Structure 1
Amino acid sequence: MNKYDCIVIGGGPAGLSAALTLGRARRKVALFDNETNRNRVTQASHGFLTRDGITPLQFKSIAMKELEAYPTISVLHQTVIVIKKEETNLFLVQTANNESYLSEKILLATGIQEEFFLAQIRQYYGKSLFSCPYCDGWELKEKPLAILAENEEHIQHMTKLVYNWSQDLMVFTNGNPLSNEIHHEFERRKIKIYTAPIKKLHGEHGNLQSIELTTGENIARSGGFVVPSFTRPNKFAEQLHCQLDENQCIMADGAGQTTVNGIYIAGETKKVAPSSLMIAAAEGFKAAVSINMDLIVERF
């Protein structure tokens, strides 16, 4: 059975950054990637210095090419289904291909996935509907936009944020009422609120054109921002008995070490909240440095 110094699970920016750093530290690393990273649906990635506007596919291809320079890094395109600790204190990783691997350390960098209150949103997500104004606000500046969200706190936050890029805003709550305070605050800025349930989104090839309500109204909008809920795509942290806080965030020190010795976390997985490519990559680097230092101390 193959044995590694560290197995990195997840081929997003956090996992790729960690694998590169560990490879350069002469560690034997396996990076598991099943091509489910969240940003694969978008047209371009923004805000990563020297790579602004790059497509997610190009970003990942460049990173994978860089990993090839380090012979101790293996990239395995498999889905991990089970991680468990052996009596030897090594971790056993099993995949959907019925293959098993051993490792001294595990880095969880599997990211998160969106869940939408309206299934049809996914047809437009990454093309004309987005979740991060810092990533995609520039491309939608000054356009007639929609804010799609059901929670009042989320609506208030996202609307105020997007107002920085476009003041032509309309809010759609999908049947959920908002407080008088929010109504008055938005009305002062000529932001119209629609509280009727959404019947259907209209558009072509992922480009939003209008939003139809159950009242029969059909409001023209050319794009917008949505507030999804986010979930971890697996229960690895729970399987490994990592401690979670009251918000279901995985508890860890500032360098990615969880409450379970040998298990580390990086990227969006920790907080179940979205992050930029640059922040996720930086967290992957920090976790890799922590892993390498722990290996040095244990073996010296």
Structure 2
Amino acid sequence: MSPSTEPTPTAGTVTDGRVGPPALDERPDDVFAVVTGLYAALLVAPLVTAGVTRVVGDPAVLYLVFLGGLVFTVAVAAIAVRRIRGLPVRLGSTRKRWLPALVAPGTVAVAGAILVGTGQYSSADGLLGTVAAVGGFAAGGILGIMARSRYSKAITELAESHATWRAAWSDRRRRPMQLLGALGVAGGIVAFGVPVVWNHPFLQPLANVLIPMGAVVFTFGQARTYHATSAGLEQQMPAARALYEWDHFEGYTVAEDAIVLHRRAPWRLPLIYDRDDIDDEEAVVSALDQYLPRLPVA
């Protein structure tokens, strides 16, 4: 049997979606390191403070313990992360990038269940647990987005570029999402006001969910920049990037009002580009033709 001819990643190459040494040799940037430190601190500081409440009840002391735990953990974790070369790219290359966001509420839930089961749960534990769960989930989500963005940038910088364009959804396709989002926000506002005449325990949590979700849905279809490369299709947002490999899509269609990229996962929304927004439609279609089949318009 002849020896394997599988290429070894070298400087400036992309192999099977993996980035070669240039990106993997880089230390994490300061912003990524600090956000990682903040994520760790939002888990450690509440845990330490909850432990101290068992022996100290002075609010001033507990505040200093919490604040000191935050600052110390951020500093130590950030310094440690800066030593791990290629961490953002390695993390951003897999779906494990979302694990930090899930670990925070999961850890809090387990700890809360143990405290309740042993009869040691207190209102202070609930407050600190909320800080850890919500803060850790938010920081972990931001960390995942940052890792994905750095991976996308590293891949596309080494890949062959075919076309770049900026487009939003067509008005006809965007209106239903805007209506749905507006209804969600309106429903959340009503849920906030109803307790004045009917105080139900589920209304406040419902409002907390409806308003932010409605706001997010309302923004669906906003203009984004897209970059077609040999590694996949990159979506560039104001503060983030996402790279979709070509096998993520089933194909594309050219409708009267828009070019639509259909994802293989039926529950994922398609990518839609208003044809009037695209400066060079021929270049976009040519780039898509290299990797995706053109499907008939339904």
TM class, shorter-chain normalised?
Answer: under 0.3
Q: Which structure has the greater CA radius of gyration?
A: 2
Of structures 1 and 2, the one with the larger relative CO (CA 8 A, separation 6+) is 1
TM-score by length of 2: 0.26
Higher strand share: 1
TM-score by length of 1: 0.26
